[in-house]
């Protein structure tokens, strides 16, 4: 890489660091209600998007911070029917044999299908506003990508709906903004 490449790369990194610092100091939030299903607070440094996933009922992101924030919801009874059709072929996630544990393992399997390296950590079975939930973090690497990707997942079991929250960053933003993103996950409320 030549001198110009180093200068441009350094300027981009400095600009991103400034944006991350500004986001970290920004306590503003969007209070978002999705139909009569759920509500949650999303950090104001993220903007509404419509191009991340056709399955997502909520999509926010920031290209400059390299963060995508999505919620996918599906009827619990449809998922249970699908699991029953698969039979006993679903491994458990950390010994969790519940429907929520099965949702997590199937979702993670689909998500990491084409990854070269995956490390999962911070697995927790918790309650989010009275609902059973599983949260975890993942580091993943694809050969064709320069940067690693970091993802925070939350799987939440509602009364009649299962929710999956994915927060993905192709850099250090998710690490620097983890507290604000975690607050968003914990603000989730089923209506």
For residue 85, the model assigns a pLDDT of 81
- Quote the pTM value: 0.85
* 6 pLDDT above the threshold of 60: no
Average pLDDT over residues 91-95: 68
141 or 77: which leads in pLDDT: 77
Average pLDDT, the chain: 84
Contact between 52 and 70 under an 8 Å Cβ cutoff? The reply is: yes
According to DSSP, residue 160 is labeled S
3-state SS string over 69-100? Answer: EEEEEEEHHHHHHHHHHHCCCCCCECCECCHH
CA dist 60 and 77 (Å) reads: 27
For residue 61, the model assigns a pLDDT of 95
Residues linked to residue 34 through DSSP beta bridges, in sequence order? 38
Average pLDDT over residues 64-73: 93
CA atoms within 13 A on the CB side of 43: 27
9 to 30, 73, 148, 190: CA distances (angstroms): 32, 39, 17, 43
Contact between 59 and 48 under an 8 Å Cβ cutoff? The reply is: yes
Q: What are the strands, taking DSSP E only, across the chain? A: 29-34, 38-43, 47-48, 58-62, 67-75, 117-128, 131-141, 149-157, 161-169, 189-190
**58 phi/psi in degrees, rounded to 5:** -140, 130
């Amino acid at each position: 890489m030549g001198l110009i490449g180093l200068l441009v790369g350094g300027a981009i990194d400095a600009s991103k660091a400034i944006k991350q610092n500004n986001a970290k100091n920004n306590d503003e939030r969007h209070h978002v209600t999705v139909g009569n299903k759920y509500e949650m607070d999303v950090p104001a440094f993220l903007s509404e998007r419509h191009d991340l996933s056709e399955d997502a009922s909520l999509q926010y992101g920031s290209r400059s911070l390299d963060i995508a924030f999505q919620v996918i919801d599906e009827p619990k009874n449809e998922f249970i029917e699908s699991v029953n059709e698969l039979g006993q072929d679903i491994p458990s996630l950390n010994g969790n044999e519940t429907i929520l544990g099965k949702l997590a393992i199937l979702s993670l399997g689909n998500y990491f299908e084409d990854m070269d390296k995956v490390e999962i950590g911070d697995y927790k079975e918790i309650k989010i506003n009275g609902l059973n939930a599983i949260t975890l973090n993942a580091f993943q690497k694809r050969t064709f990508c320069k940067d690693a990707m970091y993802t925070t997942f939350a799987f939440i079991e509602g009364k009649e709906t299962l929710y999956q929250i994915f927060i993905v960053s192709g850099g250090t933003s998710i690490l620097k903004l983890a507290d604000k993103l975690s607050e968003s996950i914990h603000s989730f409320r089923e209506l």
